[in-house]
A and B are shown apart, each in its own frame.
Chain A
């Protein structure tokens, strides 16, 4: 008996000694099966996962694949890395091309996915046949899969993340939570608040309304006329559903009213006098300072800066229209962006494994791992209702940068379903679960939502109509190049708008400036552009 004890102690001692000697704390990984390693590059901002990410390893065990992701160098212009890859003719296994997607297709860098996807049902069922058709090229090949375009059952994002007229919660509180529906009501509130509060608590000058005009983000200035007229965010045109034609929102009466209003507000000192000259970074700095009372923007663009603001300076969205009688149409269902997506490169040595990985990532089990984490550790399941929930510890861990980085792996550039979870009971991620969202609200935002009788900011965006099959048209124009007449026309129009619209707003003589702008605008080959858009609308509608 004594010997047995000493033998056990000796074995344990020996093992622990060996481990201690080497200063090791990593767990044993006996029996780890062979894991296929893939590489992926995403031409968008993202964060690389540290080695030994928990959920990445779990997914690797379950799918047999681990994918090492790299993201766009923030110091490089968009698509520059893609161009370098094309020149070197050397690609990672998966590529998300971003604005360089079409260049990848043109360089024959991507395999035709639909030629190899037999048997991968999760993947094939990701889009409807009609939606897949929209991704096919002239030869019927699908080269990439849009990753952010699919909503399961319904949208569940409590934070409205698209374009709207935004206004700070403290301004609404000061104004007694008015019902803001029209442009005049919106600016009237800001004007009144600014008159009474020319400076914030820190003595900084408040900016009534800010306009971002830098680069392609100048949509904040140029595309509101489509929304003001009650149309969805096609981005480059209004689509007349009756005639199936593209209508130019730049020249509508509402456009005139919109820019005239901006002109007036500029001269009233509501609009930032430096708006036409600032960079995107300077715009974010101003948002971050809390001095900007309102603006038009997509929330995904300014969210990073807004996150640093106190609750009373957070922004609440409004779906403003030009006249009260118009039904707003801001909150479109998630648009299918056919202009970019993830593809498998011709350098991938195991296409089947790559497709299986994409297929596995769309399975309910892996989707839960990607967005909810590990059951029991990151969330709990109520046995009776099937509802997922997180306790306080799990919620607080979700805010720990270190924990999130080492534990969660969303494979965020790969396809997934937003909206509801595959079980139809929960939302696709914890942040969207209504109970969880309401528990995170506090202060002014909570008060504001209660005042407007809603539970989430999304509910403030009133309509959510079904869009036509052509929606969104911006996914088409994003791929225009100057090789075509309509591509060149787009570039000309963009240049003109960049050049003249700020001047229209700042001009002391709006009418003259507008005329000057129109003259320059009409000099562009707008017909080629809109004719092409009309053709695409009809193609997408199957006409």
Chain B
């Protein structure tokens, strides 16, 4: 059996009572917050990953830096080894020279032909052999030991008393390998080889690593090389944030400090197609904002039309598109146009009815005038149209009944317990009814008229014993006193016998009620409530 799919009923939710403008603001702010959250989230995730990898990369870089330094020191050691075993050097420094010229000749030959050319482009910045032979001159490659006896490196060398030491100068942070030259006996005293470490090569290697951060190789807190030119080693407390390791080379501990730079995220313009992507992002945001703005503006427009805030002439002047809102706008426009037409028609009808009533009243008044002129001999319209008090009307009624009585064809009894001074009775109306009752179905029977006042209302009862209202007349009377709206227009003319009833109905409208007390006898009464607008005129 096919299950009927239940239609989901749309109900008003919490968002249904928020104005569209506020909704749009909320959407825009939410979008921006989402964007910020996404961006920040991504940034946080990436940063966390980088932070996690940072230590690892620092460790790797430190290991590489260590390897570079180690290789360079190894190269320096190899060069020192070749010098150590170079017999020409021993020959040059072993000889006691008689004069500077003699030494120059020997040196020139050595310089031109015998000195190992291993230093060019190597790990060694400067190579010098120091000898205790004071007959040599200090200069390129060879120097007198006596000239450097007070220097820091030599003092350290003597202090350690080892064949090979690694030394870092406190004066210029120069790292040097110092090696005793004892491969051959010179006969001229001590000979020492000093090789100055070419730190620029290491610095170059550090730079070539392309590491975004700081790398320091230091001995006793003196930088021997770094990838940052002319930098100083950070303070001990700052070094806490660095990855550090060290290695011992001969007599020296070389410390390595590595710290990745803060700039760890790839700059936007380093991302491939960064500019087009950025343009797409901005355009995307703009498109969303334009759509939201359009939605808001058109919805408000539709609401304004519904609220009647727009001139009717503006409604159909423009189209709001062909989407759902556009179609809604068109539908609302069409319906409002129809309503306008109906309202216009209603107004025309009302005008017609009002005019009809006014004309009818005029006719009735003319008829009444004619009637009073003809029946009562009153010559003034004013006498029958200006409301009087019940007392006055009773007086009229009494006079009128007396006249009829005097003509001897009429008996009557008039009972009244009212003393109302409120002028809310149309003159000669009740009298005319009495006349009608008196003449209804022949004269002769006694007509009783009872007027009672009770709770601000009064009732006027007409009773004629021995006769009764015909069904047709009952219907007519009821039709005359039907409530406003369903009360039919009198189909009879001004001379009709029911004119006084019509006058009462028209005058009192809803304030008068007809009660037919009996169908056996003519017995009916009017209950008239006081008309507040016509007090004490």
Interface residues of A (CB under 8 A from B): 2-3, 6-7, 10-11, 13-15, 17-19, 21-26, 28-30, 73-77, 214, 273-274, 276-279, 281-282, 495, 498-499, 502-503, 506-508, 513
Interface residues of B (CB under 8 A from A): 21, 24-25, 28, 31-32, 35-36, 39-40, 42-43, 99-101, 104-105, 107-108, 112, 120-122, 126, 137-140, 142, 198, 200-201, 263, 265-269, 271, 275, 278, 281-282, 285-286, 289, 293, 296
Whether A76 touches B120, Cβ cut-off 8 Å, given contacts A6-B25, A21-B42, A277-B138, is yes
List 26 contacting pairs A-B, 8 Å CB cutoff, sorted by A.
A3-B296, A6-B25, A6-B28, A10-B28, A11-B286, A11-B289, A13-B32, A14-B281, A18-B39, A18-B282, A22-B265, A22-B271, A23-B263, A23-B268, A26-B269, A75-B122, A75-B198, A274-B137, A276-B139, A277-B140, A277-B142, A495-B112, A503-B101, A503-B104, A506-B101, A506-B104
CA distance A6 to B140 in the complex (A): 76
Task: Report which of A21, A76, A282 forms a contact with B39, defined as CB distance below 8 A.
Answer: A21
| B108 and A10 within 8 A (CB) | no
CA distance A14 to B43 in the complex (A): 15
Return the chain A residue nearest B109 by Cβ.
A499
CA distance A508 to B101 in the complex (A): 9
Q: Contacts of A75 on B, CB cut-off 8 Å? A: 120-122, 198, 200-201
Interface of B is mostly: helix
Name the distance in Å between A164's Cβ and chain B's nearest Cβ: 25
Q: Contacts of B268 on A, CB cut-off 8 Å? A: 18-19, 21-24
Name the distance in Å between B220's Cβ and chain A's nearest Cβ: 24
Return the chain A residue nearest B278 by Cβ.
A18
Q: Contacts of A13 on B, CB cut-off 8 Å? A: 32, 35
Name the distance in Å between B89's Cβ and chain A's nearest Cβ: 15
| A11 and B104 within 8 A (CB) | no
CA distance A29 to B278 in the complex (A): 13
Q: Beyond the given A18-B39, A23-B263, A279-B139, could you list 17 further A-B residue pairs with CB under 8 A, ordered by the A residue number?
A: A3-B24, A10-B28, A18-B268, A19-B268, A23-B268, A29-B275, A73-B121, A75-B201, A77-B121, A273-B100, A274-B137, A276-B137, A277-B138, A277-B140, A278-B140, A499-B108, A503-B105
CA distance A10 to B36 in the complex (A): 11
CA distance A76 to B296 in the complex (A): 74
| B265 and A23 within 8 A (CB) | yes
CA distance A503 to B97 in the complex (A): 14
| A10 and B31 within 8 A (CB) | yes
Q: Contacts of B42 on A, CB cut-off 8 Å? A: 21
Q: Contacts of B263 on A, CB cut-off 8 Å? A: 23
CA distance A75 to B72 in the complex (A): 14
Task: Report which of B121, B282, B289 forms a contact with A7, defined as CB distance below 8 A.
Answer: B289
CA distance A214 to B104 in the complex (A): 13
| B108 and A7 within 8 A (CB) | no
Whether A274 touches B138, Cβ cut-off 8 Å, given contacts A23-B263, A24-B269, is yes
Whether A214 touches B39, Cβ cut-off 8 Å, given contacts A7-B293, A73-B121, A506-B104, is no
CA distance A29 to B267 in the complex (A): 14
Task: Report which of B28, B108, B275 forms a contact with A28, defined as CB distance below 8 A.
Answer: B275
| B121 and A10 within 8 A (CB) | no
Of A29, A30, A502, the most chain B CB neighbours within 10 A belong to A502
Q: Contacts of B140 on A, CB cut-off 8 Å? A: 214, 277-279, 282
Q: Contacts of A26 on B, CB cut-off 8 Å? A: 267, 269
Q: Contacts of A507 on B, CB cut-off 8 Å? A: 101
CA distance A282 to B293 in the complex (A): 78
CA distance A508 to B265 in the complex (A): 72
Return the chain A residue nearest B286 by Cβ.
A11
Q: Contacts of A6 on B, CB cut-off 8 Å? A: 25, 28
Name the distance in Å between A199's Cβ and chain B's nearest Cβ: 16
Q: Contacts of B25 on A, CB cut-off 8 Å? A: 2, 6
Q: Contacts of A495 on B, CB cut-off 8 Å? A: 112
CA distance A498 to B24 in the complex (A): 90
Q: Contacts of A499 on B, CB cut-off 8 Å? A: 105, 108
Interface of A is mostly: helix
Q: Contacts of B139 on A, CB cut-off 8 Å? A: 274, 276-279, 282
Q: Contacts of B271 on A, CB cut-off 8 Å? A: 22
Q: Contacts of A21 on B, CB cut-off 8 Å? A: 39-40, 42-43, 268
CA distance A163 to B263 in the complex (A): 50
CA distance A507 to B40 in the complex (A): 81
Name the distance in Å between A204's Cβ and chain B's nearest Cβ: 12
Return the chain A residue nearest B119 by Cβ.
A75
| B28 and A76 within 8 A (CB) | no
CA distance A279 to B198 in the complex (A): 17
Name the distance in Å between B39's Cβ and chain A's nearest Cβ: 5
The 10 closest A-B pairs by CB, nearest first: A277-B139, A22-B268, A75-B121, A279-B140, A24-B268, A24-B267, A278-B139, A21-B39, A14-B285, A277-B137
Q: Contacts of A274 on B, CB cut-off 8 Å? A: 137-139
Return the chain A residue nearest B281 by Cβ.
A18
Return the chain B residue nearest A6 by Cβ.
B28
Q: Contacts of B200 on A, CB cut-off 8 Å? A: 74-75
Whether A29 touches B269, Cβ cut-off 8 Å, given contacts A7-B289, A503-B104, is yes
Q: Contacts of A502 on B, CB cut-off 8 Å? A: 104
Name the distance in Å between A78's Cβ and chain B's nearest Cβ: 11
| A17 and B137 within 8 A (CB) | no
| A3 and B293 within 8 A (CB) | yes
Return the chain A residue nearest B293 by Cβ.
A3
Task: Report which of B265, B267, B282 forms a contact with A14, defined as CB distance below 8 A.
Answer: B282
Name the distance in Å between B114's Cβ and chain A's nearest Cβ: 15
Name the distance in Å between B273's Cβ and chain A's nearest Cβ: 13
Return the chain A residue nearest B36 by Cβ.
A17
CA distance A278 to B143 in the complex (A): 10
CA distance A168 to B164 in the complex (A): 42
Return the chain A residue nearest B289 by Cβ.
A7
Name the distance in Å between B46's Cβ and chain A's nearest Cβ: 10
| A30 and B275 within 8 A (CB) | yes
Of B25, B99, B112, B137, the most chain A CB neighbours within 10 A belong to B137
CA distance A13 to B265 in the complex (A): 20
CA distance A28 to B274 in the complex (A): 10
CA distance A18 to B283 in the complex (A): 13
Whether A11 touches B285, Cβ cut-off 8 Å, given contacts A277-B137, A277-B138, A503-B104, is yes
CA distance A310 to B43 in the complex (A): 52
Q: Contacts of B296 on A, CB cut-off 8 Å? A: 3
CA distance A214 to B112 in the complex (A): 11
CA distance A282 to B24 in the complex (A): 78
Q: Contacts of B21 on A, CB cut-off 8 Å? A: 2-3
Q: Contacts of B126 on A, CB cut-off 8 Å? A: 281
CA distance A274 to B138 in the complex (A): 6
| B267 and A498 within 8 A (CB) | no
Name the distance in Å between B153's Cβ and chain A's nearest Cβ: 16
Name the distance in Å between B110's Cβ and chain A's nearest Cβ: 11
CA distance A429 to B475 in the complex (A): 124
CA distance A389 to B278 in the complex (A): 42
Of A28, A276, A498, the most chain B CB neighbours within 10 A belong to A276
Task: Report which of B28, B35, B121, B293 forms a contact with A17, defined as CB distance below 8 A.
Answer: B35
| A276 and B266 within 8 A (CB) | no
CA distance A511 to B410 in the complex (A): 191
| B275 and A23 within 8 A (CB) | no
Q: Contacts of B201 on A, CB cut-off 8 Å? A: 75
Q: Contacts of B101 on A, CB cut-off 8 Å? A: 503, 506-507, 513
Name the distance in Å between A508's Cβ and chain B's nearest Cβ: 8
| A10 and B43 within 8 A (CB) | no
Name the distance in Å between B16's Cβ and chain A's nearest Cβ: 21
Q: Contacts of B108 on A, CB cut-off 8 Å? A: 498-499
Q: Contacts of A14 on B, CB cut-off 8 Å? A: 32, 35, 281-282, 285
CA distance A24 to B275 in the complex (A): 12
CA distance A17 to B266 in the complex (A): 15
Name the distance in Å between B47's Cβ and chain A's nearest Cβ: 10
Return the chain B residue nearest A29 by Cβ.
B269
| A17 and B39 within 8 A (CB) | yes
Q: Contacts of B104 on A, CB cut-off 8 Å? A: 276-277, 502-503, 506
CA distance A77 to B118 in the complex (A): 12
